[in-house]
Structure 1
Amino acid sequence: MITAHLLVFVTVAEKKNFSRAAEALSLTQPAISQQIQSLEDYYSTKLFERTSKRVELTRAGELLLPYAKEILNLSAVAKGALDDLVGKVTGKLTIGATFTIGEYILPLVLAQYTRTYPDVEVSVLIANTEEIGEKALNHSIDIGLVEGRLVHRNLTLTPLMEDEMVLFAPADHPLVGQSVTADVLSQERYILREPGSGTRMIAEEVLAELGVHPTKVFSMGSTQSIKEAVEAGMGLAILSKWCIRKELQYGTLAQLSPAGFRFPRPLSVLVRSGHFQTKAVEEFAALVRAFPAAYNAS
């Protein structure tokens, strides 16, 4: 089939190497060469310039590449539509998720989804909200789960559930259970993500809203390292409540509660506006929407 040949063509174009393309497609190198030759015969033009180290697209190959990708995408969509017609849930599902959702919420949803629909090939991309939006727009993902603000006329964001940023300390910290003020909190050390991190920016927003102006701040490159540093007594931190739910449950960390303060933020489902959704995507979206109620009931 022409689509099989086009898949080989796109893979070689992306890998720039016949051996790596053969490995990616679980084919032999002679089979790859034969399919490229057949495609060049079909189009009556040379598609690659071959050297001893790599292959490069010719002008004709560069022209064909976007069409080949679109044909492969339409073929996948057509198969999904026919599967939907007969009630099958198969195919591929590519999910984009921001860090908190991807690391602490998505695994809970996917555990149920993959049990229910074992024939769906699932892949996950973890990135920040803007990158997830870009991936949705360029068709690199089917659906996104984001925790940030994003506005684009070709994207639809639907609120999923409310998250909350919390200030926390080691369980034996003297401020636990106390009524804390901005002046008292300003004297504490804080452990935040590295400058430029979205989580760092949100934590700084929380501190500003609290009226806290810390003079001692440590920077760390991951959520896990922050939690362990707080448990070790290095200072206080601010993260999503999802990130520390197990530690709160087991009593190794404790939430501090300045009087009357909350910092909620929405978690949302993101899709391309007006884009056809396969049954695999629809069923995942339905499961995600049902997750808050199912989780709270458990």
Structure 2
Amino acid sequence: MGKERRLLFEQQFVVFKEVADTKNITLAAKRLHMSQPSISLQIQNMENLYGARFFNRTNKGVTLTKAGEVFYDHVNNILNILTVAQQQISVLTEDQRALIYIGATLTIGEYILPNILAYLYKIRPDVDFKVKIANTETISQEVIEKRIHIGLIEGPAPRNKEIVVEKFWQDELVVVVPSFHPWAARHSITLAELAKERLIMREEGSGTRKVTELALKEMGLDLSQINVTMELGSTQAIKKVVAAGIGITIISSLTVSRECENGLFKVLKVQDSPVYRPLNMLTLAHTTQTKDERFLISMLHDRDLLEAIINGNCEDDKELYPCGDCLEA
């Protein structure tokens, strides 16, 4: 098969998948930087070639037919194989370093990922990492579009058949007060006490806010009783306001560990009602990971190692994993 013909087939597969994923020819054309007539023509050519109709067309968009669903699975497999082949060939022919694209939401990107990357830099200096910090929706979409190889998100994961969701860690949300607060000598508080205090919280729509409100509701606290006196768009801003004594907050324990060690904050728990949220890893379904991606995924599944990394207790990492081979999937 000539190079031009091979590239044409590959482009048609990409076009088909984009139309199937977006369910909209206009949107697919915009994402692929192609004209709408060109997209329609390529779909028509494929349907003629295979002798089957792949899409049901309506005024609201397009949906896959039964034949289209079968073809979609095969196209996915072909594109995944081509991607992996290209990566492996590039390393051989151009002597390129391995590169993994990681996406992370804010708390993970700021408080967990730096420790993970520092550890990986020591045991896998042959691998480079590019990191994007964004919200859950963006990370999920870029995993689907193969712009990110591994996504790490806080809280609920999106429902999508193209994404594999695996919990890799558990984060506790705790009540945080300044060290001079009347509650600082205590270890826990009641829901009734929490409802009366001035709360500083993340803005509406943030992952932390959603998880907190859901947990409080499940505990039996009417959300209308919460005295939210200030909403801020970042964890750092919240910590500064709490440190100034303006109010208290419910926040990830990961984000205040250093301040607690330095005596600036005191962490309290709601009596008999710990609040946890999962930290999830997103990967693309029906795809073949590279050796280096499998290495990272296996490491994230190693609970003991990950705990040591997050807590900064991996000084003797060579003894734990001399060359990382034991993490190979």
Indicate whether the TM-score tops 0.5. Answer: yes
The Cα RMSD (Å) is: 3.5
Spell out the pairing of 1:13-162 with structure 2 (5 A cutoff): 77-81=84-88, 90-150=97-157, 151-162=159-170
Match of 1:294 in 2: 308
Which of 250, 272, 278 is matched with 1:266 structurally?
278
Q: Which amino acid aligns with 1:120?
A: V
For residue 202 of structure 1, report the CA deviation from its aligned partner.
2.1
Distance 2:191 2:269 in 1: 11
Secondary structure at 1:176 match in 2:
helix
CA contact under 8 A between 1:137 and 1:155: conserved in structure 2?
yes
Q: Which amino acid aligns with 1:176?
A: A
Q: Which amino acid aligns with 2:191?
A: A
Secondary structure at 1:238 match in 2:
strand
TM-score, with structure 2 as normaliser: 0.63
Distance 1:148 1:257 in 2: 19
Distance of aligned partners of 1:183 and 1:60 in 2 relative to their CA distance in 1, 3 Å threshold: closer
For residue 154 of structure 1, report the CA deviation from its aligned partner.
2.1
Which of 232, 239, 244 is matched with 1:227 structurally?
239
Distance 2:108 2:266 in 1: 21
For residue 59 of structure 1, report the CA deviation from its aligned partner.
8.6
For residue 93 of structure 1, report the CA deviation from its aligned partner.
0.9
1:191 aligns with 2:195: no
Secondary structure at 2:185 match in 1:
coil
Which of 205, 208, 221 is matched with 1:211 structurally?
221
Q: Which amino acid aligns with 1:185?
A: L
Distance 2:185 2:96 in 1: 50
CA contact under 8 A between 2:81 and 2:288: conserved in structure 1?
no
Deviates more, 1:262-271 or 1:220-229: 262-271
Q: Figure out how many residues of one structure are paired with residues of the other and give that number.
A: 242
CA contact under 8 A between 1:89 and 1:279: conserved in structure 2?
no
For residue 105 of structure 1, report the CA deviation from its aligned partner.
0.4
Match of 2:257 in 1: 245
1:7-48 alpha-carbon deviations (Å, 9 max, x no partner): xxxxxxxxxxxxxxxxxxxxxxxxxxxxxxxxxxxxxxxxxx
CA contact under 8 A between 1:96 and 1:141: conserved in structure 2?
yes
Q: Which runs of 5+ in 1 are unaligned?
A: 7-55, 64-70
Secondary structure at 1:152 match in 2:
coil
Which of 282, 288, 297 is matched with 1:285 structurally?
297
CA contact under 8 A between 1:177 and 1:256: conserved in structure 2?
no
Secondary structure at 2:212 match in 1:
helix
Distance of aligned partners of 1:58 and 1:164 in 2 relative to their CA distance in 1, 3 Å threshold: closer
Distance of aligned partners of 1:73 and 1:183 in 2 relative to their CA distance in 1, 3 Å threshold: closer
For residue 216 of structure 1, report the CA deviation from its aligned partner.
4.3
